[in-house]
Amino acid sequence: MKKQGVILVIAALLALILCGAVSATDSSTTGGEGNLDVNASEPVDPILWLNVGYEYADDKINPEITVTDSANKSVAFEKTKYTDTLYKLNFTYAGVANETLFNVMVSAPGYKSQTKQIAVNQAGSDPEFIGSANFNMQATENYKLGREVTAKADQALNFATADEVLCITTAGLTYRNGTTTEDCLEGILNGSNGKISYGQGNLLTLRKNRADPVDFAFITRRGTDLTAVFFKNGGLTPSYQGTFSENMSQDHWTNIIVPAIGDDAFGYVSLANAWAIGLSTDVLRQAAFHGHVCLGTISGQAMIQTLLKYYPPTTDTGLPLEGVSYLVLGVPGNSDDDAFVYAMDDTPGKRAYIGVATMAGTNMVGFIRWNSQTNNGTLVVMKFDEDVIVNMFKRETGLTAYGGISSELKFNKWLVGKLQNDPVSLVTIVKELDGLTEEQYHYLAGYEPEKGNTTVEGHGLDMDYINTLNLPKATRQNMQYTVGNLTPEQIKQIGIDAAKKAIELFKAMGITIEKDDSRLTVLTSAGYVRLNGQPTDMTWDGLFDILGTRLSRATLLPVHSALWKSLIFEFAYENGTKVLTKTMHYDIATQKLVVDSKASYSIEGVLLYDPPYDALMAWLFHNHICGGSSPGYLLTDYILDNYPVGEDEKYIYVTTLDNCKDDIISYLLGVSAGSGTYYNIRLTTTDTSAGSNGGGGMNGMVGIIIKWNEKLKIGTAAIINWQSPDFARGSNSYEEYIKLYKGDTSSANLLSLHKISVEAERLITQEDLAFIVSGGSGSVNSLSYVIGLPVRSLSDLIPVQGGSQSDGSTSQGTSTGSGLITSTGSGTGGFFRGSVGTTGAAVNAATQTTITEAGAQPAGDAGKSYEVTQAGKQGSDDTPWGTYAVVGILSVLALAGIGFFFKGSLFG
Ligand SMILES: [Zn+2]
Ligand SMILES: [Zn+2]
């Protein structure tokens, strides 16, 4: 009987829906269902019937429904699903009468929320108060774009007949119509019929800042053939359709692909080719973070493998929350640095990555493994020797590494093979030293005895200093790691099991977890950590299958972790004004999930305040929330608003007052050490407090933003001064900061607003840039140098510099050039400034022609667009002509009798 009644109601509703005539006051009841779900002794309750349809009819999303009464008070209800679209809400409500109104809000990821007022009424002999409504959910503009672009790509490439499909996009952190574009990702995932998922590692996002265009590339693999279709800047007409295969002709690359795709062409093509040959999903994501697959990326990964083999991690060091197993002394400008920051979780904001342009080559890195029990460190210096590797490639394959696009892709393939089978062969170990003292450690890395106050400046990888230490040689361990043999399905099952376990754990607390419930967020190390050498991202797909949690919905949040850390799942449920957590980790030995008594992460602490998607992503990169990181979003806003980059310009950010916020700034600006666009110079609090607003703690001259013009070789450098806001005692600083992120300054807890000001803004030359990123010399540091620069106008600098076509700047330049570097001298700021004004200008004028000639020679016509690719903001580290260009510069410098030369990598 009951069933019949329900069916009758459904039929009636469907009829109404078909007529499109359901309105809030329509009573949907029909005769004969008087017994519907009602027991004679029950109180008379309201029942709401909702039909929820989606603009994309194949979307099967469990809608999130909330009900409030006319006084806006939340109403608890029981929800029953009858069909894919029909839901019944049952609840009790004191004093319900005919025409009582309820507000019903329906929301779903990728769709605009809808609220309707629904009246309930009794009808006929039915004692129930019944109301109904029809929700036709409209997709967001960004979701539509994701769906449409995927449908177009499917039409062009026919996903169903391909062996595999890949999507590479800038969507996510980029903005469209004023919002982040994660809904585009959601549209791609839902529109690809399971062909694309996070777990399979075939949705790669290039890291961009919000001002960058939203681009999409779809690539299908059939055997070894790759075919791509590319959509630029949110458009639905492909700007390129054709081959991405490694055997493409140079002519096709130069004259068709590069003009159609632009600066990122090499990024798309190199990632697609590495994906096609099975580069592991986590390394692919790291390469997407960097911008492309290249020698530096693969070598950086090989250096990490070498480090883990000979000097495996022991204990973590660092301030609370910021513990890391190693500290990296990087030299920005070569791609390897992005591997360390990403795969070792050695982020600059955690004071785990120091990036100073020292005289050591950009292909060199120092790792410090600090033992905080014995107060003693091991220092290992490695490099990848480009000449050696290129020669090895030539010997083994007969090919020239940078002979054109095809040979570069083959070089990449060969490198991937080396990384998989013999990573140590790509690495040169320069030094292995033991007994590093605390004082020496602090000299290299800087020292911050109390939060926010740095007493010792960091000097980075200062080889001259290291060589004077006479430390004893360290003893290698020789770890043997066996790679596990779990299938992707088995790894996915771990996610499924974790999700089911979480549902049980919450059920025991009386909480029912529904699929697609936005109140549940999973924080996990999956995707970063490995299980016996195997990537763990397939667990994401398992979690999604059960819970509907996904990164594009901001409900599955991969927390930045070093690849050797444990696989952790933390389930955070927003229950009213509280967040409840259940945490578990995967025990490798027993292959079981073990429930932990404490939460592992802290990021759940901001969930209640609805942080912007990009703020959340940046916090994930930092791996925790903290007071120190909170200003980062506001500082990035300030920079993007006040220093927008134009044609041929890119950002270079130099941190001077280092703390957690620097992970947020570098992440959201889209700069990185590996691209040579981020430096981490740790000056002392005394130095950073010297600005007009004073300083101390987090306040003061926090960094230098440089807008660098690639063509003119001139930049604008601005010193950013930060003064923290003041919030009322007892208020939640995250809640208050997130309001500020959204531009809301109305909070009563906001006692004084933060202040961001520019301490000094100067036009700078290449020599100035070199000095700034080197950290300084003698008593002149990066900040005092900029302040001391004369105020010049563009016309002061352009006549001698303008027209230079150089894009040079490569890693090779450094190693090639190091022999020519005679001295940085005891030069003071005055000396350097002098050189800019006099000899510097002459040098620039001379290099201008030399670079153009040298650059044109090796690559020839065919190489031209290839140069364009590499000259993009992703770093131009691997071009052959770059070497020539820098050699050209060096010869000119030598000829001109210039006695010093900073770093090849800076000239680009
Ligand atoms: Zn690179
Ligand atoms: Zn922090």
Give the 3-state secondary structure of 645-686: CCCCEEEEEEECCCCCHHHHHHHHHCCCHHHCCEEECCCCHH
CATH architecture for segment(s) 295-317+326-468: 2-Layer Sandwich (3.30)
Q: Give pLDDT, residue 23.
A: 36
Structure tokens at 292: 């492309």
CATH (residue range 488-621): 3.30.360
* CA of 872 relative to ligand 1 center, distance in Å: 11
* CA of 662 relative to ligand 2 center, distance in Å: 9
Instruction: Name the CA dihedral angle for 356, 360, 366, 370, rounded to a multiple of 10 degrees.
Output: -70
* CA of 270 relative to ligand 1 center, distance in Å: 10
Q: Give pLDDT, residue 14.
A: 45
Ligand nearest 298 Cα, by number?
1
Ligand nearest 348 Cα, by number?
2
pLDDT in tens, 647-660: 899 999 999 999 99
Q: Is the pLDDT of residue 7 over 50?
A: no
Ligand nearest 452 Cα, by number?
2
Query: What is the mean predicted confidence (pLDDT) over 722-745?
Result: 97
| Cα 537 from Cα 202, distance rounded (Å) | 11
* CA of 332 relative to ligand 1 center, distance in Å: 12
Q: Is the pLDDT of residue 845 over 60?
A: no
Domain ranges in the chain with CATH number 3.30.1330: 295-317+326-468, 627-764
Read off φ and ψ for residue 326, nearest 5 degrees.
-135, 160
Q: Is the dihedral of CA 21, 25, 31, 33 positive or negative?
A: positive
CATH (residue range 141-276): 3.30.360
Q: Give pLDDT, residue 856.
A: 29
Ligand nearest 659 Cα, by number?
2
Q: Give the pLDDT band of residue 125 (cuts 50, 70, 90).
A: confident
Class level of CATH domain 627-764 = alpha beta
Q: Is the pLDDT of residue 68 over 80?
A: yes
| Cα 169 from Cα 329, distance rounded (Å) | 31
* CA of 282 relative to ligand 2 center, distance in Å: 24
Q: Give pLDDT, residue 50.
A: 97
Q: Is the pLDDT of residue 195 over 90?
A: yes
Residue with tokens 């992005």: 338
* CA of 811 relative to ligand 1 center, distance in Å: 10
* CA of 214 relative to ligand 1 center, distance in Å: 22
Q: What is the side-by-side order of every strand in the sheet holding 578-587?
A: 556-558, 520-524, 568-575, 578-587, 592-596
Q: Which residue has the higher pLDDT, 529 or 825?
A: 529
Q: Give the pLDDT band of residue 389 (cuts 50, 70, 90).
A: very high
* CA of 171 relative to ligand 1 center, distance in Å: 21
Q: Give pLDDT, residue 43.
A: 59
Q: Give the pLDDT band of residue 21 (cuts 50, 70, 90).
A: very low
Query: What is the mean predicted confidence (pLDDT) over 7-36?
Result: 38
Are the C-beta atoms of 745 and 753 separated by less than 8 Å? yes
pLDDT in tens, 512-562: 999 999 999 999 999 999 999 999 999 999 999 999 999 999 999 999 999
Can you tell me whether residue 836 is helix, strand or coil?
Answer: helix
Q: Is the dihedral of CA 383, 386, 392, 397 positive or negative?
A: positive
DSSP 334: S
CATH architecture for segment(s) 2-137: Sandwich (2.60)
Q: Give the pLDDT band of residue 799 (cuts 50, 70, 90).
A: low
* CA of 335 relative to ligand 1 center, distance in Å: 4
3-state secondary structure labels for all residues of 538-567: HHHHHHHHHHCCCHHHCCEEECCCCCCCCC
Q: Is the pLDDT of residue 894 over 80?
A: no
Q: Give pLDDT, residue 320.
A: 63
* CA of 628 relative to ligand 2 center, distance in Å: 6
* CA of 622 relative to ligand 1 center, distance in Å: 22
Q: Give the pLDDT band of residue 8 (cuts 50, 70, 90).
A: very low
Q: Which of 213, 264, 223 is nearest to 245 (CA)?
A: 223
Query: What is the mean predicted confidence (pLDDT) over 867-882?
Result: 33
* CA of 306 relative to ligand 2 center, distance in Å: 28
Lowest mean pLDDT among 175-184, 197-206, 626-635, 787-796: 787-796
Ligand nearest 623 Cα, by number?
2
Q: Which residue has the higher pLDDT, 36 or 127?
A: 127
Contacts of 151 (CB under 8 A, 6+ apart): 191
* CA of 746 relative to ligand 2 center, distance in Å: 26
219-246 in b/e burial notation, b at 16+ Cβ within 10 A? bbbeeeebbbbbbbebbeebebebbbbb
Are the C-beta atoms of 114 and 106 separated by less than 8 Å? yes
Q: Is the pLDDT of residue 319 over 90?
A: no
Ligand nearest 318 Cα, by number?
2
Share of the chain above pLDDT 90, in %: 78
* CA of 410 relative to ligand 1 center, distance in Å: 15
Q: Is the pLDDT of residue 810 over 70?
A: no
Q: Is the pLDDT of residue 383 over 80?
A: yes
Ligand nearest 879 Cα, by number?
1
Q: Which residue has the higher pLDDT, 97 or 817?
A: 97
| Cα 586 from Cα 497, distance rounded (Å) | 10
The letter for the amino acid at 707 is K
| Cα 138 from Cα 108, distance rounded (Å) | 10
Q: Is the pLDDT of residue 803 over 70?
A: no
Ligand nearest 335 Cα, by number?
1
pLDDT in tens, 30-55: 233 333 343 444 556 899 999 999 99
| Cα 498 from Cα 492, distance rounded (Å) | 10
* CA of 349 relative to ligand 2 center, distance in Å: 7
* CA of 379 relative to ligand 2 center, distance in Å: 25
pLDDT in tens, 235-249: 999 999 999 999 999
* CA of 654 relative to ligand 2 center, distance in Å: 18
| Cα 650 from Cα 644, distance rounded (Å) | 9
Structure tokens at 371: 């033992």
* pLDDT, the chain, mean: 85
Ligand nearest 618 Cα, by number?
2
pLDDT in tens, 457-482: 999 999 999 999 999 999 999 999 99
The β-bridge partners of 383 are 364, 428
Domain ranges in the chain with CATH number 2.60.40: 2-137
Domain ranges in the chain with CATH number 3.30.360: 141-276, 488-621
